Amino acid sequence: MPRIAVIQRPPVFLNRAATLDSAVTAVHEAAQAGARLIVFPEAFVPGYPAWIWRLRPGGDMALSEQLHAQLRANAVSLAGDDLAPLREAAAQREVTVVCGIDERDAEFSRGTLYNTVVLIGPDGAVLNRHRKLMPTNPERMVWGFGDGSGLRVVDTPCGRIGTLICWENYMPLARAALYAQGVEIYIAPTYDEGDRWIASTRHIAREGGCWVVGSGCAFQARDLPPAVTDKVEGFGQPDAWVNPGDSVVVAPGGKIVAGPMHEETGILYAEIDLERVGMARRSLDVAGHYARPDVFQLRVNTNSLRPVEFSDWQPS
């Protein structure tokens, strides 16, 4: 049975190098404790831009631009191998890592950011990149829309892993796309928290007959940079929790086996028995014997959507 570790610690906001150092330390700590699968929160490198929910729309545009510029400067370029320290740690420890990042596009305009989750294998290779399909509310001023090219379930030594980010998990058809690919460990890095979110993870575990890992963001006002807390209202005293985390691990069928880890930082551990996936799907397999393809069908576009296509065509 693989052991999973959910890292519920704050990043070093707007500092990619320091956050990666923290992530590498966490990988070594979790691996030392026997974890084979290590999961980080949504947009962990270099942090979820929590200030967007407190800045008034159309308010301090100069501050918004300043913070976005810092986020962009510290975002992750996969083409530039900015995740090399984390990949190397995964390879050194021979563990599988799932990590949320602010990704900077390096192929086209090089100006757009994406809310991305990457799956790193135990050899250090990036096995999948999934960009959030639908940023939520003010997130659309930060991140572009992803496509279906990363909407994949990947075989790993720990099991078949699929990921959806935060409120993507409220999209029934996105969940169905993972169920249809035989997801065993369904990972949901999220900024959401609280009873409704935890109830949703339990529903997904029951619906999909899979393990569900909700990896939450946990940090206090003091963890945010002064450029945020000094200029953006609503964060309260330094010890005030901006997000309580609520990381949780749920077994197939919906029983919570670890967490929720509320208003604390640390590492949440759980043992995952993949045999329980098959047991759960014996009575309810929504992509198998409980499906009705004669009535319902889902078509998923997994092509990479490119804004520009270049060719070698030359005029005669």
| Tokens linked to 131 | 């960009």
pLDDT in tens, 216-248: 999 999 999 988 888 787 787 889 999 999 999
Can you name the residues that pair with 268 across neighbouring β-strands? 6
Rounded mean pLDDT, 285-303: 93
Residue type, 58: G
Candidates 84, 107, 88, 98; CA nearest to 130 is 98
- Structural domains of the chain, count: 1
CATH number at residue 157: 3.60.110.10
* Residue 231 counted as domain residue: yes
Cα gap 107→102, rounded to integer Å: 15
Helix 84-93 / helix 16-32 crossing angle, nearest 10 deg: 10
Residue 279's nearest CA partner among 214, 213, 184 is 184
Reported as a pLDDT band with limits 50, 70 and 90, residue 204 is very high
| AA identity, residue 213 | V
Name the residue with higher pLDDT: 141 or 260.
260
Q: Quote the radius of gyration of the chain (alpha carbons, Å).
A: 19
E strands, the chain, in order: 3-8, 37-39, 96-104, 113-120, 126-131, 154-156, 159-163, 185-190, 211-216, 218-220, 241-250, 256-262, 266-271
Query: Is residue 316, in this structure, part of any structural domain at all?
Result: no
DSSP 143: B
Q: Taking the model in full, what pTM does it have?
A: 0.94
State the pLDDT at residue 120. Answer: 98
Cα dihedral 73→98→51→241 (10° resolution): -140
SS3 content of the chain, % helix, strand, coil (to 5): 30, 25, 45
Task: Name the catalytic one among 99, 103, 132, 158.
Answer: 132
**Nearest to 86, CA basis, from 58, 52, 125:** 125
Taking Cα atoms as reference points, which of 78, 116, 120, 132 lies closest to residue 96? 120
Domain membership of residue 287 (yes or no) is no
pLDDT tens, 146-203?
999 999 999 999 999 999 999 999 999 999 999 999 999 999 999 999 999 999 999 9
Would 297 be classed as within a structural domain? no
Is 70 exceeded by the pLDDT of residue 59? no
The residue written with tokens 């999220």 in the block is 190
Cβ distance 46 to 19 under 8 Å?
yes
36 φ, ψ to 5°?
A: -110, -20
- The 8-class DSSP code of residue 105 comes to P
- Residues 196 and 174: beta-carbon distance below 8 Å: no
Place 56 in a pLDDT band, splitting at 50, 70 and 90.
Answer: low
Residue 42 among the catalytic residues: yes
| 217 is a catalytic site residue | no
Distance of CA 236 to the CA centre of its chain: 27
Mean pLDDT of 98-121: 93
Contact criterion met (CB below 8 Å) for 264 and 218:
yes
Kindly tell me if the per-residue pLDDT of 118 is higher than 90: yes
The C-alpha atoms of residue 37 and residue 5 are separated, in whole angstroms, by: 6
Residue 75 lies in a domain: yes
In a domain, 291, yes or no: no
Question: Angle between the 172-180 and 195-208 helix axes, to the nearest 10 degrees?
Answer: 40
Residue 58 lies in a domain: yes
pLDDT in tens, 34-49: 999 999 999 999 999 9
Residue 55's pLDDT band (cuts 50, 70, 90): confident
d(CA 90, CA 69): 30
Q: Which structural domain range is residue 143 located in?
A: 3-281
Give me the mean pLDDT over the 67-93 stretch. Answer: 95
Closest by CA to 218, choosing from 242, 196, 236, 238, is: 242
Q: pLDDT value at position 298?
A: 93
- Do residues 112 and 131 lie in contact, with contact meaning Cβ atoms separated by under 8 Å? no
Give domain status of residue 312, yes or no: no
State the catalytic residue, choosing from 99, 103, 158, 166: 166
